[in-house]
Amino acid sequence: MSLLVVGSTAFDDIETPHGTRVGCLGGSSTHFSLAAALFTEVRLVSVVGEDFPAEHRALLERKGVRLDGLEVKPGKTFRWSGRYSADMNSRETLDVQLNTFGDFAPKVPPSFADSRFVFLANASPQTQLSVLEQTAGAEFAVADTMNLWIDTARSELDELMHRVDGLIVNDEEIKMLTGETNLIRAGRRALQMGPKLLILKKGEHGCFLFSNFFQSAMPAYPTEKVVDPTGAGDSFAGGFMGFLSTCDTLSLWNMKRAIAYGTVAASLTVEGFSVERLATATREDIDRRYQELIQFVAV
């Protein structure tokens, strides 16, 4: 089924213990799209500057990402610079240049308006709400968010949480959102704020999935090689939404499988800088790791 993503496209400058990359392809919508495209065609809504190279467009299109909604504006593409700690469990943002992303007002093109699955990558809740208004027929909409919006746009975020089907947050964010330190209690509390489904990402510790009818856990895929964690969360969301959009029903069973596919997509992303590993991954890679992950948790 049709899957739309709205988010950032960026140039990333990245330092990790494994090396440095300057100006590589990044952004939430990029990681999401390349992961989701392993399962289905992806419709991208984002913005770049005139400096965005043809080769990046070509890569996305070749992988099955439709760029009808990729606006090109005068000026430069959004740029993010960051440095990871030695154990890669934390990172420092060194510089942010919003550039053309600064006043991003997503316009869903008519050809994408009938999208049935919608992923709202991290942006202000107001921006995310504006996308929901443009995709009124969406069957399953999921939003990401971050501490900044929990802090500064709480009432808009509260409205958003009542409008989306699912919310994806990490452990810090959910503690901030709910005031609970016990993650299980926090997950159940967040469900009372609106979303029918809550995904709690815990990085190397895997993730939890909460609904009012079930809860489920998935460890991270046991990778020994973490080169660059940038985009892991968006790739997770891409694998989750990409797989789910190919399912006949939004059943518990399919949700659980979808978080396993999200986990696998994230495990590929972290093994290379930027989208290097994800861009060369095949559906066979995904399915092999999926089986390994299932064995890893099987009792």
Residue ranges binding a copy of itself (CB under 8 A): 86-88, 181-185, 188, 202, 204-206, 208, 215-219, 222-224, 226, 256-257, 260, 294, 296-299
Nearer to a copy of itself, 60 or 218 (CB): 218
Nearer to a copy of itself, 101 or 208 (CB): 208
Nearer to a copy of itself, 80 or 243 (CB): 243
Minimal distance in Å, beta carbon 249 to a copy of itself?
16
Minimal distance in Å, beta carbon 202 to a copy of itself?
7
Edge to edge, the sheet with strand 207-211 lists 65-73, 42-49, 3-6, 117-120, 140-144, 166-170, 197-201, 207-211, 215-218
Nearer to a copy of itself, 30 or 230 (CB): 230
Minimal distance in Å, beta carbon 133 to a copy of itself?
36
Nearer to a copy of itself, 136 or 298 (CB): 298
Minimal distance in Å, beta carbon 140 to a copy of itself?
20
DSSP per-residue letters across 99-168: GGGTT------GGGTT-SEEEE-SS-HHHHHHHHHH-TT-SEEEEE--HHHHHH-HHHHHHHHHH-SEEE
Minimal distance in Å, beta carbon 175 to a copy of itself?
8
Nearer to a copy of itself, 111 or 182 (CB): 182
Sign of CA dihedral 262, 263, 264, 269: positive
Report how far apart the first and last C-alpha atoms of the chain are (Å, whole number).
33
Sequence-distant (≥ 6) Cβ neighbours of residue 273 within 8 angstroms: 14, 16, 18, 19, 21, 24, 227, 228, 230
Minimal distance in Å, beta carbon 218 to a copy of itself?
8
Minimal distance in Å, beta carbon 219 to a copy of itself?
4
H helices of the chain, in order, are: 28-36, 54-62, 125-134, 147-152, 154-163, 171-178, 183-191, 232-244, 252-269, 276-280, 283-297
CA distance 28 to 53: 18
Nearer to a copy of itself, 50 or 92 (CB): 92
The DSSP H or E segment spanning 200 is strand 197-201
β-sheet bridge partners, residue 72: 48
β-sheet bridge partners, residue 216: 209
